[in-house]
Amino acid sequence: MLRYSQLSFWEKDSYFNDLDILIIGAGIVGYSAAIELKDKYPDKKILILERGYLPTGASTKNAGFTCFGSGSEILDDLEDQEQDKVVDLIRQRYEGLQILLNRCGKDSIDFIQTGSFEIFKNSDEDVDMFENVMDNQRRLNDIIEEATGIKNNYTKSSNTFGFDNVSNIVKNYGEGQIDTGKMMLKLHQIAVQKGVLTLFGTSLESFEDFENDLVKINTENGAFLTKELIVATNGLSQSLLPDIDLKPARAQVLITKPIPDLFNGTFHYDRGYYYFRNVGNRLLIGGGRNLAFEEETTTDFENTAIITNSLKKLINDVILPNKKIEIEQQWSGIMGVGKSRNPIVRYISEKRNVMVAIRLGGMGVALGSRIGQQIATLFEKKNS
């Protein structure tokens, strides 16, 4: 790889000289921030730097659920957070989704509001959990209405899907699905059309304060300067930002070969630890991190036997009993999680020229565009 010192005058001038804003990470957050900032500041030179030849975190790996929270997840959140905070986070996710849909166009990313279904097992624990959701149905629906305007979001549903070993199902009206690959391609195209520069295949190794309020960016190919740095590296942030409450969380996924007469929809199972949906006539299924939390706290892109086997077992025992299913492909991605489910979006340097926007958890599809907007607002406030 050429070092920066070997680049031509033109290369340095086009990409690196007089850089106003450098964004690290070409995920949903990186692209959304670049688009928002370019809309507000068309003359600013904005560069996204991505370590992989493709985005290499979570945004191109995810399951494409446009989710803001199942009934049991929201009840969990209400146990350790005030209701206002819970409403606010749901609102942020929902607003993020609206920004994404308006920006990309529903059809170009295959958005379908299928509703999602929370599936409860036959176990005593799940029956109790279902009853708890139904006992709190009114409160939960009020919360969703306050956050999104959707009325009667959670309703009891029935098992018309042919699932086995299931006691109850609750429908979440507002959720749906997109095509993750189409979303990321579209975000890239929009950013490039607006004049955002993108460079793939270079990692930020460290950054440091430099004279004249500039930030020095150190990469494996050499160093350059920027006026403002935005770190949107989510689950891969630990080495860059060791003092922040964030851990990597690997998530593994399988997709089957085509299955005739497959149902349509998005589903959550076992307190949200598992999720599955149709992708056309294929079944996509992921989850099972709860089986090996420690092992899954990693940035290695691997698939493990313990999780792969649990996903296959779920297909055989519950989702498509008595059907012969062939797995076509498997992969994993890395999320960023912490003690709190709230993302971190703030300036971290004294001079307020380094911002972080990380810890998107498992709902970044909906939330990511809202975080992009928040980044632009913080930047605008600082510069007004």
Give me the 310-349 binding string for ligand FAD, x by CB under 6 A, dash otherwise.
-----------------------x-x--------------
Q: Could you tell me which residues come within 8 angstroms of residue 240 by beta carbon, excluding any fewer than 6 positions away? A: 204, 206, 207, 231, 233
Residues in contact with ligand FAD, counted by CB under 6 A, come to a total of 43
Q: Where does this chain touch ligand FAD (CB under 6 A) — which range of 53-61, 161-169, 255-263, 314-322?
A: 53-61
**Binding flag, residue 288, ligand FAD (CB under 6 A):** no
Minimum distance from CB of 113 to ligand FAD (Å)?
A: 14
CB of 47 or CB of 253, closer to ligand FAD: 253
Minimum distance from CB of 286 to ligand FAD (Å)?
A: 5
Minimum distance from CB of 29 to ligand FAD (Å)?
A: 3
Give the residue, chosen from 57, 69, 96, 248, that forms a contact with ligand FAD under the rule CB under 6 A. 57
Minimum distance from CB of 213 to ligand FAD (Å)?
A: 22
Q: Choose among 236, 250, 232: nearest CA to 334.
A: 250
Unique residue bearing structure tokens 């299928």: 114
Minimum distance from CB of 289 to ligand FAD (Å)?
A: 10
Q: Could you tell me which residues come within 8 angstroms of residue 289 by beta carbon, excluding any fewer than 6 positions away? A: 249, 250, 251, 273, 296, 307
Give the residue, chosen from 314, 320, 337, 360, that forms a contact with ligand FAD under the rule CB under 6 A. 360
Q: Where does this chain touch ligand FAD (CB under 6 A) — which range of 9-17, 36-44, 55-63, 307-315?
A: 55-63
Which residues between 3 and 32 bind ligand FAD (CB under 6 A)? Answer: 24-30
**Binding flag, residue 74, ligand FAD (CB under 6 A):** no
- Hey, how many other C-beta atoms are within 10 angstroms of the C-beta on 356? 25
Query: Residue ranges of the alpha helices (H) in 163-269?
Result: 180-193
Minimum distance from CB of 332 to ligand FAD (Å)?
A: 6
Give the residue, chosen from 37, 166, 345, 366, that forms a contact with ligand FAD under the rule CB under 6 A. 366
Give the residue, chosen from 69, 71, 176, 235, that forms a contact with ligand FAD under the rule CB under 6 A. 235
CB of 30 or CB of 174, closer to ligand FAD: 30
Helix (H) or strand (E) holding 36: helix 28-40
The first and second tokens of residue 19, run together, are 């850089």
Instruction: Calculate the CA 372 to chain-centre distance.
Output: 12
* Ordered DSSP codes for 105-150: -TGGGT-B---EEEEEESSHHHHHHHHHHHHTHHHHHHHHHHHH--
Minimum distance from CB of 214 to ligand FAD (Å)?
A: 19
Separation between Cα atoms, residue 141 and residue 139, nearest integer Å = 5
In the chain, what are the helix, strand and coil shares in percent, each to the nearest 5? 40, 25, 35
Q: In what order do the strands lie in the sheet with 354-358?
A: 197-200, 46-50, 21-24, 228-231, 354-358, 344-347
Separation between Cα atoms, residue 216 and residue 226, nearest integer Å = 7
**Binding flag, residue 63, ligand FAD (CB under 6 A):** yes
Q: What does the DSSP 8-state code read for residue 258? A: P
Positions in the binding site for ligand FAD (CB under 6 A): 24-30, 49-52, 55-59, 61-65, 67, 203-204, 232-236, 240, 251, 253, 286, 333, 335, 360-366, 368
